[in-house]
Structure formats: structure tokens, C-alpha cells
Amino acid sequence: MANASNPFRGIRIGSASGAGLAGWQAETGRSPVDVHKLPVTYRCPQGHETTPVFADLAEEEIPEYWDCPRCGRTGTRRPEAVFGDSRTEPYKSHLDYAKERRSPAEAEEVLARALGELRRSRGEAT
């Protein structure tokens, strides 16, 4: 909802004012340019597909390999490629790293302390 006393007004992007161009377009005399987008599909050794979208690039500028966001292994653009062991260590989740930092006894102590603080903040009896 617009406020009459607010000097800021919303404008649709790309809209033209009565004089022709609005905002940065009027200041620079330029119009927005559509950029050709190029989706590229990568497949990791586990069969996951990832399709990042690049701006219009030459073929040699597009990366040959892309890390899989699901398993962390390296994917390639060529489906016929033979995958070697691309990582020196297996993919680890945040929980795996947290488990490395603490023993089970330390984890229980941290959990008990956090639950106690939560119960105190809610006013529950401990």
C-alpha cells in the first residue's frame, strides 16, 4: 500500500515515463539488453544431474566439470566420460564434521545444556 507522504514510489522495471526513458535509462541513454542464457547439464558418477545456466559464452569458456550439489562429487558434461575417484576424501555433511569435533559424551553434554537453556527461557521447570 502506498503512503501519500512517502516520497518513494514503485515503478515497474522497464517502464517508460512521459518523457520516454525512466531512471537509469534516462540518465545513461541506454536500454536494457537481453542476454542469451545457456543451460549446461552435468552428470556426476551417481547419476545426479545439475543444470547451471551461463551467460552466452564460447564453448571453450564453459567449465568441463561441475561439483554436484547433492553428493559433492565432480560431474562432467560428457555422459560417456569414465569417472575416476575425483575426491581424495568422501563427501561429508555438516553433521559428519560436527561428529568429528565432539565425542558422544560431549555431544550429550552440549544437548543437555541447550535443552536446559530452552526450558528456562520458556519458564518450564527443569
- Digit-coded pLDDT (tens) for 84-118: 555 566 678 888 888 888 899 998 999 999 999 99
Q: pTM of the predicted model, to two decimals?
A: 0.44
Sequence ranges of the domains in the chain: 35-85, 92-126
Cβ count within 10 A of residue 39: 8
Return the percentage of the chain with pLDDT > 90, whole number. 21
Which pLDDT band, with edges at 50, 70 and 90, does 45 fall under? confident
Q: What dotted CATH number matches 35-85?
A: 2.20.28.270
Cα separations in angstroms, 76 against 16, 44, 59: 44, 6, 14
User: Residue 45 has which C-alpha cell?
Assistant: 558418477
